[in-house]
Amino acid sequence: MRSSRIRSSSDNLDDSVRTSQRGRERHHDRAKDSPQHVVTQSVTIARQQAAAPPSDPPPPPSPGAPDTTPPSLTIVSPASNTFSMSASSIVVSGTASDNVGVAKVAWTASSDASGTATGTTNWSTPAIPLYLGATTIVVTASDAAGNTSWRSVVVTANRCLPLQRASE
């Protein structure tokens, strides 16, 4: 506890202050105008600790680790990745899955055809035209993070075209 005493020059005012370790101050004032008239007043002041300044708001939660997992892609039909047929077009279908979600399944063919499959988890292409000889069809699945996976099938078209009669 700390104590101090202040006396005025006229010796008519006596002020004593005592401060405790808890931050309380006790002021004791005594004033007199003659030996018979003495006035005393005591006041206790309790100091509150200043509130801590507001802390910065916590940073927003960081997103989880970036998605680096490519989708899983399977061609269900045709069942083989290399085969021959006599048709002029083929429909390719299959399944795709991803840890976050498949965004798109697209296809391209060496016959210069390309497009987007219908569906994502269960998907199918429209009829893809086949040229005589080998046509490679590549199916690509992608997720929203841009991860991709692909599968391909090679179809050899061996159809016989009807003979055209030469004009005379």
Instruction: Judge whether 65 lies within some domain.
Output: no
Residue 114 belongs to some domain of the structure:
yes
Domain annotation covers residue 163: no
Do the domain assignments include residue 57? Answer: no
Q: Are residues 84 and 37 in the same domain?
A: no
Per-residue exposure over 116-128, b if at least 16 CB sit within 10 Å of its own CB, e if not: ebeebeebebeeb
Q: Percent of the chain having pLDDT more than 70?
A: 57
Structural domain count of the chain: 2
Range of the domain at 16: 2-46
Q: Does one domain contain both 78 and 150?
A: yes
Residue pLDDT, tens place only, 69-90: 999 999 999 999 998 999 999 9
Strands (E), the chain: 2-7, 13-19, 24-34, 37-46, 72-77, 82-85, 89-90, 93-97, 102-109, 114-116, 122-124, 128-129, 133-143, 148-157
Tracing tokens 């006790």 back to the chain, one arrives at 26
Percent of the chain with pLDDT over 90: 48
Task: Point out which residues pair with 18 in neighbouring strands.
Answer: 3, 26
Residue 94 lies in a domain: yes
